């Protein structure tokens, strides 16, 4: 297999340039506002805090502890601990999955716009990347006939982000079923068996700093390959991160509820601003997730505007161009942040427009 350099990850380079500038107001993130360690520990009594302080900071097991894997499995309706491998965020899960599935002459299908890690890794491994363009006029949902034409006998992976980031569109169960039936892998016994789900503590819970993600699948042969590949990436997750992830999952609803309430209020504010813009701004209202993909007037250079807002107003947005030049009229707005911050940031953007 021919290896290439990893291409520049435009989105992450954008964040690297601006996200940690002091005073930056982040309206570009794809998750909710973060949780503090104190908040997590206070969800339980002194006994949990004591256990955390006594936690051994040695290596932990490569697949993740049985109890954390079971807690993650409980987020699904039909999985158990054996169907899970914990990773360092979804980032490592995607990396290992691509590394494990790579083979000469194979291809993968991705949606566009798409988070850049899977296509970037595929490109570095010499795997052909086929793209299924999503369009605002289709509600940012995949055209299944076009997808069917892209898939062939050498397709190793159809990579779908659901809810879709940045547009917030969701797939129906029928659409998922339809897509699974297009995949002509000889080992398909039933549609569920070959599905791989990647998730993380970042998006729903606001715990990106724990670096805990996972791969879930009934294909245990694939999970074993992922564990073997992990011997070369991080070997295991961080012990404190895993402890706190398990604690958070015991109180999942309590952590998510205020974040969803803030996101819904922010999304309503954004909807109002778009309605009042009399056609200057347009979108397909996101059905889920914490991001919206908003189209701005054609005469503007959006990337230059975002750069100016970050430098001069300390307001961070994500220009659609990081997803490819066809999205240069769009901006990703993250509405998972604190409502006061969102209101302030939105006002700054509207004023600039
Ligand atoms: C679609 C998508 N996948 C993966 C990631 C990486 O997630 P993690 O923080 O779990 O590594 C992100 C981060 O924003 C993302 O938006």
Half-sphere exposure of 148 (CA within 13 A, CB side): 9
Residues 300, 261, single domain; the answer is yes
Mean pLDDT confidence for 296-313: 96
The mean per-residue pLDDT over the stretch 94-100 comes to: 95
> According to the model, what pLDDT value does residue 4 have?
80
Alpha-carbon distance of 160 to 179, in angstroms, equals 10
Q: Does 43 map to a domain?
A: no
Cα separation, 188 vs 312, whole angstroms: 54
Q: Say if 105 falls within a structural domain.
A: yes
Indicate if 235 and 89 belong to the same structural domain.
yes
Residue 104 shares a structural domain with residue 195: yes
Say if residue 129 is in the same domain as residue 76: yes
Confidence of residue 184 (pLDDT cuts 50, 70, 90): low
Extract the tokens encoding 155.
Answer: 């397709």
What is the pairing mode between strands 128-133 and 155-159? Answer: unpaired
Please tell me the distance from the alpha carbon of residue 273 to that of residue 293, in angstroms, as a whole number: 14
Mutation to probe ligand 1, out of 91, 98, 205, 238 (largest number of atoms < 8 A from CB): 91
Q: How many helices (H) and strands (E) does the chain have?
A: 13, 11
The answer, yes or no, to whether residue 58 has pLDDT greater than 50, is yes
Residue 1 lies in a domain: no
| Residue to mutate, 200, 215, 245, 248, ligand 1, most ligand atoms under 8 Å from C-beta | 200
Stretch 21-39: mean pLDDT:
97
Tell me, in angstroms, the distance from the centre of ligand 1 to residue 57's CA.
Answer: 26
Is the pLDDT at 303 greater than 90, yes or no?
yes
User: Per-residue confidence at 74, pLDDT binned at 50, 70, 90?
Assistant: very high
pLDDT beyond 70 at 167: yes
When pLDDT is averaged across residues 223-234 and rounded to a whole number, the result is: 95
User: Does residue 188 surpass a pLDDT of 50?
Assistant: no
The last residue of a domain, from among 202, 228, 250 = 250
pLDDT tier at 194, thresholds 50, 70, 90: confident
SS3 (DSSP) at 295: strand
Above 60 in pLDDT, residue 191?
A: no
pLDDT category at 192 given cuts 50, 70, 90 is low
Atom 1 (ligand 1) nearest CA: 115
What's the domain range around 303?
10-37+253-352
**What average pLDDT is seen over the chain?**
94
5 within domain boundaries = no
- Closest-CA residue to 349 (of 292, 273, 282, 288): 273
Which protein residue's CA is at the shortest distance from atom 13 of ligand 1? 30
Going from the Cα of 275 to the center of ligand 1, the distance in angstroms, rounded, reads: 30
Q: Could you read off the pLDDT of 124-144 as tens digits, one per residue?
A: 999 999 999 999 999 999 999
Q: In angstroms, rounded to a whole number, what is the distance separating the alpha carbons of residues 35 and 54?
A: 22
Rounded CA separation 17/10 (Å): 11
Q: Which of 250, 274, 291 is the last residue of a domain?
A: 250
Instruction: Give the model's pLDDT for residue 173.
Output: 85
Among the ranges given (173-187, 190-204, 289-303, 311-325), the one the predictor scored with the smallest mean pLDDT = 173-187
Number of domains in the chain: 2
Residue 30 lies in a domain: yes
Ligand 1 mean position to 192 CA, how many Å?
A: 23
* Same-domain pairing of 88 and 219: yes
Question: In the numeric block, which tokens belong to residue 209?
Answer: 């700093």
**pLDDT higher at 314 or 179:** 314
pLDDT confidence of residue 224: 96
Of 205, 233, 250, the last residue of a domain is 250
Tell me, using a 6 A CB cutoff, whether residue 217 lines ligand 1. Answer: no
For the CA atoms of 206, 213, 152, 119, the dihedral, rounded to the nearest 10 degrees, stands at 70
The CATH number assigned to the domain holding 140 equals 3.40.640.10
30 CA: nearest ligand 1 atom? 14
In a domain, 202, yes or no: yes
Are 300 and 219 members of one domain? no
Chain centre to alpha carbon of residue 279: 29
Query: The pTM is what?
Result: 0.90
pLDDT at 1: 59
Query: 199 CA to middle of ligand 1, Å?
Result: 9
Helices (H), the chain: 10-18, 37-42, 46-53, 66-73, 89-101, 117-124, 144-150, 173-182, 220-230, 239-250, 252-276, 302-313, 339-352
Instruction: Summarize pLDDT for 253-282 with one digit per residue, the tens.
Output: 999 999 999 999 999 999 999 999 999 999
Q: CATH no. for residue 314? A: 3.90.1150.10
In terms of domains, do 237 and 143 share one?
A: yes
How far apart (Å, rounded) are the C-alpha atoms in residues 282 and 109?
A: 28
pLDDT at 136: 95
Ligand 1 in contact with 90 (CB < 6 A)?
yes
| Residue-level pLDDT at 177 | 84
Neighbouring-strand partners of residue 295: 282, 330
- Is pLDDT at 349 greater than 90 in this prediction? yes
pLDDT at 186 over 50: no
């Amino acid at each position: 297999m021919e290896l290439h350099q990893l291409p520049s990850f435009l989105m992450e380079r954008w964040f690297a340039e601006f996200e940690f500038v002091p005073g930056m107001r982040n309206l570009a993130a794809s998750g909710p506002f973060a949780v503090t360690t104190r908040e997590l520990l206070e969800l339980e009594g002194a006994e949990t805090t004591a256990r955390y302080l006594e936690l051994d900071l040695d290596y932990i097991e490569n697949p993740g502890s049985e109890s954390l894997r079971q807690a993650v499995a409980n987020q699904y309706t039909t999985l158990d601990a054996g169907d899970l491998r914990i990773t360092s965020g979804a980032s490592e899960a995607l990396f290992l999955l691509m590394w494990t599935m790579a083979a000469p002459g194979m291809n993968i299908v991705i949606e566009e716009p798409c988070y850049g890690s899977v296509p970037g890794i595929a490109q570095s491994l010499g795997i052909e990347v086929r793209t299924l363009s999503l369009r605002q006029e289709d509600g940012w949902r995949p055209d299944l006939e076009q997808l069917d034409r892209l898939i062939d006998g050498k397709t190793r992976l159809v990579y779908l982000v659901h809810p879709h980031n940045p547009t917030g569109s969701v797939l129906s169960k029928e659409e998922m079923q339809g897509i699974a039936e297009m995949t002509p892998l000889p080992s398909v016994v039933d549609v569920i068996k070959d599905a791989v789900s990647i998730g993380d503590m970042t998006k729903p819970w606001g715990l990106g700093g724990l670096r805990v993600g996972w791969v879930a699948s009934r294909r245990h042969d694939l999970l074993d390959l992922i564990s073997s590949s992990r011997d070369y990436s991080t070997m295991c997750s961080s012990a404190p991160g895993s402890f706190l992830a398990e604690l958070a999952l015991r109180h999942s609803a309590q952590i998510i509820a205020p974040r969803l309430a803030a996101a819904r209020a922010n999304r309503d504010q954004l909807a109002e601003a778009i309605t009042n813009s009399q056609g200057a701004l347009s979108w397909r209202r996101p059905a889920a997730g914490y991001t919206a993909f908003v189209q701005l007037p054609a005469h503007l250079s959006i990337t230059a505007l975002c750069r100016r807002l970050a430098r001069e107003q300390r307001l961070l947005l994500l220009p659609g161009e990081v997803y490819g030049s066809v999205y240069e009229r769009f901006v990703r707005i993250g509405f998972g942040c604190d409502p006061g911050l969102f209101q302030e940031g939105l006002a700054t953007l509207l004023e600039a427009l």
